[in-house]
Chains A and B, each alone.
Chain A
């Protein structure tokens, strides 16, 4: 992903053939390329839509908050570490965790 400006991000896909690697590795990577990241991707289309929506939201006069609520309340905290609850593959716990850490750093005594 290449940020070109505050409101423009270019996503590109590069495909490599690894020297000496078996052919199935190349084929597998190629299937991933075609399905997930090609300019006609079935998968990444949702992510790109999210980027667009986040940008639209931030540049609008709407709310100042970005929601990281997905699966909130199901996070598991163990020894000060937040973990994603089981069967919550798309939990936004990592983002919540990141923001929590950022708040801690920003408010820590000098």
Chain B
């Protein structure tokens, strides 16, 4: 008896195709959600082992390496940041602030044959620290690596519209 062959699944992954668009959006929303939920270990876990979180001081910068930055952190440094903020003696960080991110305008810039993606998006973030509300906004560029467990971030670039403005207080976790 001839074995019935399963129809070959065609991998259709058009740029801005529905699947990739949807998956990337879900990934970005999840990242915002863990950030606002202060689930910082989960946030760090979204990065690839060699992943970098980078916030340049201004848009003309093309690399974090050897350049001044607001943030330029690998996973190791991110872990140091998380531990410091959560340390019981970090009294300057008490009470912990609240944040609320909204991420949108998600555009798939590039998708490789292996499913790695470069995506642009925009964000607004409201922060409540004690009685004061601060507002940060800007754009993200995510370089995402496709893995068996979903996307992992190779590089997240954050260009904050108010990066050059004076802050009432420094930023203590990732935006």
Contact = CB atoms under 8 A, between A and B. Distances in A.
Interface residues of B, number: 22
Interface of B: 55, 66-72, 80-81, 84, 90-93, 163, 166-167, 169-172
A71 interface: no
Q: Is the interface of A mostly helix, strand, loop or mixed?
A: helix
Interface in A1-60: 10, 13, 15, 26-27, 30, 33-34, 38-42, 44-46, 48-50, 52
A30 B68 contact: yes
Contacts of A48: 92, 169-170
A45 B166 contact: no
Interface residues of A, number: 20
Contacts of B70: 38-40
A39 B68 contact: no
Contacts of B84: 42
A12 to B, nearest CB: 9
B170 A44 contact: yes
B68 to A, nearest CB: 5
A40 B171 contact: yes
A38 B93 contact: no
Contact of B170 (A27, A33, A41, A50): A41
B170 A45 contact: yes
A42 B68 contact: no
Contacts of B93: 45
A30 B66 CA distance: 7
Shortest 9 CB-CB distances between A and B: which pairs?
A49-B92, A40-B171, A46-B92, A40-B71, A15-B68, A39-B70, A40-B70, A45-B170, A41-B170
